[in-house]
Structure 1
Amino acid sequence: MSTHTVSVKKGISIEVVSILWMIVEAGVAIGAGLLAHSLALVAFGADSIIELIAGAVLLWRLTIEANGASLDRVKQAEKVSSWVVGIALLLLAVYIVVASADKLWTHQGAESSYLGIGLAIASGVVMPYLSWAKKRIGAEIGSKALRADGSCSIVCAYMAWTVLAGVILTALFGWWWVDSVAALALVYFVVKEGWEAIQEARGKEDACGCCHDDCC
């Protein structure tokens, strides 16, 4: 078995782990967010679902490559997926802004969420590792998509740290406005991911998903 084939199989394994974590992250974040009335946690969970879709498409592509088939037949599917993910993320950003504005206007705050704190800590630790693994394997097999997915994972870690700050401050001080402010802080990451996904769907050569200088 060639070194390239071994690396592709490693890529498949890390994507499977990532997808499983996204399922847990989405379920716990949305569940905890609804129980605590936390917009930031619900938005974090919604973003995880969208990343789950993108990860599933990438897993499909890697599996086809591992089986020795041509990748041409998945290019159109990747493009459609990028459009779906990009538009969904931009719509999520609009929802966050509108919901945050409503909560700030009506003085609605989130309740303490120790489950949310635990999830944010776990995501803040797990996602940087997944990011490093995806970028390393992506470099080994020459997969721009896998390296870009690694950058998406580190963005997810940034979002987790932002949510963590919000839920801790809410739990410690009961500041009703912190959750909405934390949710608004997520908009930057969500819009950036969404816009870059749309650019990739449009066939921009310098777009690579959640693109950063080190993934292009």
Structure 2
Amino acid sequence: MATGAHETSVKRGVRIEIISIVWMVIEAAVAIGSGIVAHALSLMAFGADSMIELVAGGILLWRLAMEARGASLARVKKAENVSSWVVGIALLALAVYIVVVSIVKLVAHQGAETSFIGIGLAIASGLIMPYLSRAKKRIGSEIGSQALRADGSCSIVCAYMAWIVLAGVVLTALLGWWWIDAIAALGLVYYVVKEGWEAVQEARGKEDTCGCGC
């Protein structure tokens, strides 16, 4: 790719990452807030995952911004490695939390209340994240950034998680199934663990990991 075209793609990568970070902030705040109000574990877990993705996105934005300015990537590579360890361990810890709390809620017969805000958020995320995923993977291929392509995989996983959460909150609203929130939360564990494991593998220098499950 010509230098001018490469620089243009890097700048587009910066813009798409900024859009992604802004949405992650909204997603995390709304999911956690509505999850607390409705006592919905699946929504709170979804919001926590969004916060972790926000940290990873911030590091990636810094890396892209530095490349856009023509700076050396040596320090950025080290920062990405540290970020991968932090994100990976945090996601694995989140998975343990989801499993423990889900079991407690099932044993105690504790269900979630209806959350129409959560339903709206899940629908929005399910529509927005596939678009962001395609854009990140395309731009990542153009500039040769495995990190950006992996972040695109994280975005599509976020869409999968949104639809799982949506199924849970809709069934709670329509049928009043007290146990569905805990089951939906457990349904997120596979994706959370996969994201965490991919991040840890990347931190260990496993270059062929696809990141976040796709």
TM-score (normalizing by structure 1): 0.97
Q: Aligned partners of 2:78, 2:12: CA distance in 1, in Å?
A: 25
Contact 2:67 2:73 in 1 (8 A): yes
For residues 102-130 of structure 1, the C-alpha deviation after alignment (integer angstroms, 9 at most, x for no partner) is: 00000000000000000000000000000
Partner of 1:65: 67
Amino acid at match of 2:7: T
Out of 136-145 and 178-187, give the one that drifted further: 136-145
Runs of 4+ in 1 over 2 A off after TM superposition: none
Partner of 1:193: 195
Residue pairs, 1:151-190, within 5 angstroms: 151-190=153-192
Contact 2:153 2:210 in 1 (8 A): no
Partner of 1:88: 90
May I ask how many residue pairs the two structures share in their alignment? 212
Partner of 2:40: 38
For residues 156-199 of structure 1, the C-alpha deviation after alignment (integer angstroms, 9 at most, x for no partner) is: 00000000000000000100000000000000000000001000
Partner of 1:149: 151
Contact 1:145 1:208 in 2 (8 A): no
Partner of 1:127: 129
Aligned partner of residue 21 in structure 1, secondary structure:
helix
The alpha-carbon deviation at position 211 of structure 1 amounts to: 4.8
The alpha-carbon deviation at position 204 of structure 1 amounts to: 1.1
Partner of 1:19: 21
TM-score (normalizing by structure 2): 0.98
Amino acid at match of 2:152: G
Identity in percent:
74
Amino acid at match of 1:167: V
Q: Aligned partners of 2:102, 2:210: CA distance in 1, in Å?
A: 30
Gap regions ≥5 residues in structure 1? none
For residues 68-116 of structure 1, the C-alpha deviation after alignment (integer angstroms, 9 at most, x for no partner) is: 0110111111111000000000000000000000000000000000000
Gap regions ≥5 residues in structure 2? none
Aligned partner of residue 19 in structure 1, secondary structure:
helix
Amino acid at match of 2:67: E
Aligned partner of residue 154 in structure 2, secondary structure:
helix
